[in-house]
């Protein structure tokens, strides 16, 4: 007898094939059969008018810290995610010596917009090595399935200590890092992740440690994946890191490469397509390179306490890490502002903020006397005041002790261009960043947005293709076995949804982090059921309880 029968569903199997109408049976956590007249069952759900697909695989998350205090990894399961890959960009919390815990947390506070107080209260430091961290995850369980990258910055810090973000490694230090990575791969890491992005700065504005790695270090560590016999190399690249070099690493290691973060910039509209074309050329030569793209407009709330959108600018570097009074003096300086204006005006291949002041709005003021500024653009406000936009924004923030909340539409705002990116044969729908930037950013519902906005509303792709992009494609790229497809014998990771209404709700703030701290949240629209390994974890009302049926994935096919 089956445990569950979902009847009369429009079935999208994750392969991109035309959907069929039929039933799906689940037994002992796996898909038992698809078709009609599948036999007796303990529970039946009539899915007339609804669609059934594999659960979403979120391949770019940062739940590494949160999962130690919240193994439900809210909000992802309620948003249709049944498998989450953590450790992206190499920003992990293992390995970590006890003496380095504060530094690791402070780095996350800066680079991933996390609250230091939340991290101090929340993280369960019951590990030092990567195998011990994986064992903790397996022991405590999780709502979704989890796969974890070994992270370059943490490995580098473990080996080099305070020198990690300051200099190149010696050959002996690289060899020690290689040994740690090989140990992690034997323990079941999904691969090796790193970043060369200039936007990725840690505590006091110094670069994240991985940014100090030279070519020898990268070649050695990525080459270790060949010896492991499995694993994906994931890199968030800076403009100086060329696709040709990453192709060389793929050739030398024999491993797939996932390249993030490919986002469209209206001030340099061809740059992302040049990268995608270079990735396509590498694939034509038999490589396995994928470009991680987002289906969401990159919009971020921020204050000048932590202005992530501009922290990658070279002209912002003198302000990083300053004490509050010195910081305020710096951003009040005419010379500092002029340097910023000059850099923003200069063309470049990629940066988050490009001087589009009409795309920056005042969200919330601290002084009621400024309430009339809210929900208006900096461009309009500066024009009315006869001021330069940068001066207007900085002076408003200074007048409010840096507490003014702004929002910026940064990248991916050209829907025609993003549609082209999403349909590129070598792009990978990704970059939710779930678990990071909790105070000012939340794209955890990216999958529902792809289904509702891009497939149904804009018809930039078929619903079947959107499902494949969220499920079967990621499973194939990352070597996630027996998931990502609706197929007999595969794990029963399922998403039941209404194709007529599926989407993401408006963002709102909830206070459910350790210590009552807040984060941005978006609700699911049109989700009727989410099953992980055959267990219902969410329905139309959200999460269903404390079930933790997810598995720590340790074995992969690529």
pLDDT at 362: 97
pLDDT at 520: 83
Contact status, residue 107 vs residue 208, Cβ threshold 8 Å:
yes
Distances (CA, A) of 119 to 50, 93, 97, 105, 189: 40, 11, 16, 6, 23
Which CATH code of 3.20.20.140, 3.40.1410.10, 3.90.1200.10, 1.10.645.10 fits the domain covering 55-297+412-480? 3.20.20.140
d(C-alpha 427, C-alpha 59), whole Å: 13
pLDDT at 267: 82
How is residue 455 annotated by DSSP?
Answer: I
Which has the closest alpha carbon to 136: 148, 144, 124, 145?
124
The distance of Cα 469 from the centroid of its chain, to the nearest Å, equals 16
Which has the closest alpha carbon to 512: 70, 62, 114?
70
Per-domain residue ranges for the chain? 55-297+412-480, 300-411
**Angular region, 90: left φ>0, alpha ψ -120 to 50, beta rest:** left
pLDDT at 324: 94
Bridge partners, 417 (sequence order): none
pLDDT at 323: 93
pLDDT at 439: 65
The distance of Cα 55 from the centroid of its chain, to the nearest Å, equals 17
pLDDT at 543: 93
- Where the chain has pLDDT below 70, the residues are 349, 439
Q: Determine the Cα angle at 20 with ends 2 and 51, to 5°.
A: 70
How is residue 301 annotated by DSSP?
Answer: E
d(C-alpha 189, C-alpha 403), whole Å: 40
Which has the closest alpha carbon to 277: 265, 262, 267?
262
d(C-alpha 361, C-alpha 370), whole Å: 13
Which run of H or E residues covers position 4?
Answer: strand 4-11
Residues 6+ apart with CB under 8 A from 414: 264, 266, 269
User: Which tokens belong to 154?
Assistant: 């943490």
Furthest C-alpha separation in the chain: 76
The distance of Cα 220 from the centroid of its chain, to the nearest Å, equals 26
d(C-alpha 517, C-alpha 512), whole Å: 6
| Alpha helix stretches (DSSP H) within 304-388 | 324-332, 334-345, 378-385
Judge if the upstream peptide bond of residue 315 is cis by omega within 30 degrees of 0. Answer: no
Residues 6+ apart with CB under 8 A from 248: none
pLDDT at 442: 85
d(C-alpha 123, C-alpha 483), whole Å: 30
pTM: 0.93
Pseudo-torsion of CA 387, 393, 397, 399, nearest 10°? 10
pLDDT at 508: 86
């Amino acid at each position: 007898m089956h445990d569950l029968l979902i009847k009369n569903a429009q079935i999208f199997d994750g392969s991109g094939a035309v959907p069929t109408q039929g039933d799906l049976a689940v037994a002992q956590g796996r898909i038992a059969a698809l078709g009609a007249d599948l036999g007796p069952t303990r529970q039946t759900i009539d899915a007339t008018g609804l669609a059934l697909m594999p659960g979403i695989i979120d391949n770019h998350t940062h739940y590494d810290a949160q999962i130690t205090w919240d193994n439900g990894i809210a909000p992802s399961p309620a948003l249709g995610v049944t498998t989450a890959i953590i450790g992206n960009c190499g920003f992990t919390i293992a390995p970590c010596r006890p003496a380095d815990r504060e530094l690791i947390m402070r780095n996350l506070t800066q680079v991933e917009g996390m609250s230091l107080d939340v991290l101090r209260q929340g993280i369960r430091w019951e590990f030092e090595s990567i195998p011990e961290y994986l064992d903790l995850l397996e022991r405590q369980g999780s709502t979704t399935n989890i796969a974890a990258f070994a992270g370059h910055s943490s490995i580098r810090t473990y080996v080099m200590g305070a020198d990690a973000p300051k200099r190149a490694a010696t050959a002996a230090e690289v060899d020690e890092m290689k040994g740690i990575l090989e140990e992690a791969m034997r323990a079941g890491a999904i691969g090796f992740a790193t970043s060369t992005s200039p936007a990725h700065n840690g505590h006091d504005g110094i670069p994240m440690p991985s940014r100090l790695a030279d070519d020898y270090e990268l070649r050695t560590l990525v080459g270790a994946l060949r010896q492991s016999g499995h694993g994906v190399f994931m890199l968030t690249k800076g403009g100086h890191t060329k696709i040709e070099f990453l192709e060389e690493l793929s050739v030398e290691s024999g491993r797939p490469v996932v390249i993030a973060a490919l986002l469209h910039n209206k001030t340099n509209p061809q740059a992302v397509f040049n990268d995608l074309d270079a990735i396509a050329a590498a694939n034509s030569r038999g490589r396995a390179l994928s470009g991680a793209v987002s289906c969401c407009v990159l919009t971020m709330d921020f204050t000048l306490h932590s202005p992530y959108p501009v922290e990658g600018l070279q002209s912002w570097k003198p302000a990083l890490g300053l004490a509050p009074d010195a910081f305020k003096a710096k951003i009040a300086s005419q010379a500092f502002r002029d340097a910023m204006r000059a850099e923003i005006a200069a063309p470049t291949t990629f940066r988050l903020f490009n001087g589009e002041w009409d795309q920056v709005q005042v969200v919330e003021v601290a002084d009621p006397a400024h309430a009339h500024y809210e929900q208006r653009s900096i461009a309009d406000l500066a024009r009315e005041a006869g001021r330069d936009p940068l001066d207007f924004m900085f002076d408003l923030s200074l007048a409010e002790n840096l507490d003014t909340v702004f929002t910026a539409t940064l990248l991916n705002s050209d829907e025609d261009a993003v549609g082209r990116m999403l349909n590129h044969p070598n792009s990978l729908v990704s970059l939710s960043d779930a678990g990071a930037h909790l105070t000012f950013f939340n794209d955890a519902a990216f999958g529902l947005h792809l289904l509702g906005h891009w497939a149904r509303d804009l018809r930039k792709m078929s619903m079947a293709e959107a499902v494949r992009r969220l499920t079967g494609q990621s499973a194939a790229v990352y070597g996630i076995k027996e998931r990502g497809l609706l197929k007999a014998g595969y794990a029963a990771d399922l998403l039941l949804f209404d194709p007529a209404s599926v989407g993401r709700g408006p963002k709102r703030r909830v206070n459910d982090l350790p210590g009552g701290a807040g984060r941005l949240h978006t609700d699911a629209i049109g989700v009727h059921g989410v099953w992980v390994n055959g267990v219902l974890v969410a329905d139309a009302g959200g999460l269903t309880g404390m079930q933790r049926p997810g598995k720590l994935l340790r074995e992969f096919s690529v």
